[in-house]
Structure 1
C-alpha cells in the first residue's frame, strides 16, 4: 500500500520566465498559455520566486497614483507600491517562492497551500531544481479512482499484506469512494488499525466501521498503563 506523492500528480511541462523578462511580455505569456502565475527561474533551474496576476495588477491598482511608499505604511501596502513600479519579473515576483518537494504527500502539499494561501506550488527535486508544478485541482486526482480500484487496494494492500487478514473474514464494499467495513477480526486494536489504514487509501472519502472483534485488547492495555 502506497500513497500518491506530489510527483505522481504534478504537471511536468512547466511554463517559466527568466528574471529579466519584461512586464508586458509576462502579461502576454499568461494570457497566451492560460495560466494565472509562473515561476521565475534562474539559469540553474532554481526557483527565485513566482509572478502571479495579483503581482501584475498592482501596476493597474496604482496607475497614475503616488507610488512612493510612506515611512509608516504597513509592509503589505509598501510591497504593493514597490511592485507597481516593477518592470521585470525579478522586480514583480513574490519571493521567496513557496515550494514543495516532489516526494511530499498530497496531504502535505494541501497543508502548505492552506497555510500559505496559494493555489499552486512549484515542485522541486532532491537537488532543489524545478521539476513540475502542482495545483489544487491536481491534489483532487486522488479521488478520481474507481470504486473497484479502491476495493482491490484495501483487500490486497491493507488486509492481506499489512494486517495479514484473510479478505474472506472482512467484507469490503465501496460506493462513490465511501467504504463499508463489515466482518469480524481477532482483536479490537486490529479493527481500529484497519479503519485507520483504510481512511488513508487514496480515493477513500469516508469509512463506515461495522467491524466486530473477538477480544478487546485495548482495555487490557489501558489497565496495564494504569497499573504502571
Structure 2
C-alpha cells in the first residue's frame, strides 16, 4: 500500500515569539524595533491581539520619501533612529503605526501547508506572514527563512534525521530490523516488515515531522508473530 502523508504545516515551523507593534506605536519606536531585531517588518495588533496590518522598512522609508527627504537623509532614515529611547524626531510630528501600516495584512493559519505559505510569499513579494487563529488573533510569525529551512536540505541530511527520528541515536545504519528508508527529493519511502512491536503509524508520524520531508510513502507490511 502507498500512502502519502500530508505536508508540513505553518504551525510546525512558525516562530511563536513575535516582535509586534500597536496602532499608536511611533515612527521612532518602529524603526528601533526593526533595526534592533534585524527584521524587515512586523505585525500591528489591536488590544485583542487581532492583526490590523503590517509595517515594513519600506513603509518607513516610503513615508520619509513622500515628505521630501531624499539622498543621504532618506538612506539614513532607519539607522539614525538608533538613538536612546525617549528622544524625538526633529522632522515634526511622528506618524504612528496605524498610519504607516499596510492593511489588511496578508496572513496564514497554522494548519495551512508550508508550501502554500511559500507560494503566498512569492506571489505577494513579502518575507514574513503573520500566523493567526480563526479569530484573526496573532499566534506566531512565519518568515521566508522558516519556510526555506524545510525545503533547502539534502536527501542525505533528511535520511539521517529520519533514521534517527524513527529509531533513536544508535550508530547502526539500519536501526530497526526489517525496515528500509529511502529519500528522494524530500519524499521518504519506508519499506519492509519491521517487528510487530513497532507501531507503523508512529514510524510514519516520526518521519513526517523531520524538516525537509514533504511526504511519506508507506510500503510497510505487517509481520506476524510467527514470522521468524
TM-score for both structures, normalised by structure 2: 0.58
- 2:118 is the counterpart of 1:110: yes
1:128 alignment counterpart: 136
CA 1:180–1:131 in 2, change beyond 3 Å: closer, same or farther? closer
2:43 alignment counterpart: 39
Question: Is contact 2:54–2:101 with CA below 8 Å preserved after alignment?
Answer: yes
1:79-228 alignment runs, 5 A limit: 87-143=95-151, 144=153, 146-150=158-162, 173-174=182-183, 203=212
Query: CA–CA distance in 2 between the matches of 1:61 and 1:33?
Result: 23
Query: CA–CA distance in 2 between the matches of 1:111 and 1:176?
Result: 18
Per-residue CA deviations over 1:14-35 (Å, capped at 9, x if unaligned) read 0111101111111112112221
* Structure 1 residues without counterparts, runs of 5 or longer: 66-84, 155-166, 183-200, 206-228
Count residues with an aligned counterpart. 163
RMSD of equivalent CA atoms: 3.9
Question: Is contact 1:151–1:173 with CA below 8 Å preserved after alignment?
Answer: no
Query: CA–CA distance in 2 between the matches of 1:42 and 1:135?
Result: 22
Query: CA–CA distance in 1 between the matches of 2:14 and 2:190?
Result: 32
Higher radius of gyration, 1 or 2? 1
* Structure 2 residues without counterparts, runs of 5 or longer: 70-92, 167-176, 192-209, 215-228
2:201 alignment counterpart: none
CA 1:176–1:113 in 2, change beyond 3 Å: closer, same or farther? closer
Question: Is contact 2:26–2:94 with CA below 8 Å preserved after alignment?
Answer: no
Shift of 1:86: 7.3
1:67-82 alignment runs, 5 A limit: none
Per-residue CA deviations over 1:70-113 (Å, capped at 9, x if unaligned) read xxxxxxxxxxxxxxx97110110001000001110101101111
Query: CA–CA distance in 2 between the matches of 1:86 and 1:105?
Result: 39
- 2:21 is the counterpart of 1:9: no
Q: Which has the higher strand share?
A: 1
1:58 alignment counterpart: 62
Q: Which has the higher helix share?
A: 1
| Bigger RCO (CA 8 Å, 6+ sep) | 2
